[in-house]
A and B are shown apart, each in its own frame.
Chain A
């Protein structure tokens, strides 16, 4: 089991806020790790919001290999934040020697936005491959204004290690998506911890995807960035990316792809032709199984929805300045104690909730 959470705030917040959101829910997870994706960054990265930021964890050799690769491929280093860890004894963390968060400037000759998107993806994939082959590290994201931190251990100790409790103004963001558990189904692999990130899309999922094999077999041939498959939650991200980024369909169709309406309901709909066609052609992207997802979109919006059998809950609460999404309401109570709880939203099995940049909540039924 795991618990997932997200914060979207008008004022940038520290990661400790996300930890406070998650810790009250710890009965539901096993404190085996910490993973977060921050988007819309402030603090040390506020000057470089339009420059791609590389997030990685590696050995000294890994760092050298990456530097060499980036130089060779005409990326210019702009700024870096290398955390100085608090190496207290008895911390439960399986730390790697280096954590690197570094901004680059694009190679001069790559100007078009689409070409840049492709280059960032290909670069991350190449770095990942290189580090995987040599066993020298992990690269989690390479994208403007996005930072990913993942580690194995107790989330409280990981926070201590990275000074996340200090609220020292280094790391701040308006959007944070977070999760406190490693994927325990198989061997612990750092890449298997969600949130996952791909070309601006971030996704965290609580649940199980019984169509993992079916989704994976299909996704492998859809897009070169659909790799890894260390966790069934990646299926959710890749489908989100495919529907919005590749097919360029409106967001409302994502839910129709992952949890299509039953045929009997489809037949009653005025838009049944479109929905049937989608169900037909994307049958292999259907997700069957209990689940809730929280997703971050490239434009900063956040989305949440749950499966059609409603076996995994999620709640959305806010106070006008900050909205939090979380598996359990106790987390939101911790960070937003004074909100009007009567306005909390518990999305139902057919509902999608989107929070826009002004923290306005949009919700609709599939």
Chain B
């Protein structure tokens, strides 16, 4: 069984699934209004920006990540704290990042592991309308699906495979 990356972070009698690149690609394709949340670890920022651009998915920069994005000439759709975006995502009456309606899929990358675990927990309990994918370092059982625990190299390959699978479909 895949354990949480921070190994004591087991909380749930119904843990989420271990993702494959195909299952992530399929969930993104299936979603009507996905959103990408990019956090402060900045390990795979370029990949997240590519995904946002190629799939036309809005991007929310947490912490002070918006500054790093601007350095790359990219303006995030929204910039706000991790808990603030989580609070909006769990509110059924929110109209979403682009005012087109509440999101049905949130993809997390690079948020601090333990903070992201809390965000995912809040959505799991209080936002039944939204599915979650965690592509941050290490497995997050609070997400509907999340990476297995991979080395940095393998993780790069995994992310590339997601892009490949999306391109194929």
A binds B: no
**Interface residue ranges, B against A (CB under 8 Å):** none
**Interface residue ranges, A against B (CB under 8 Å):** none
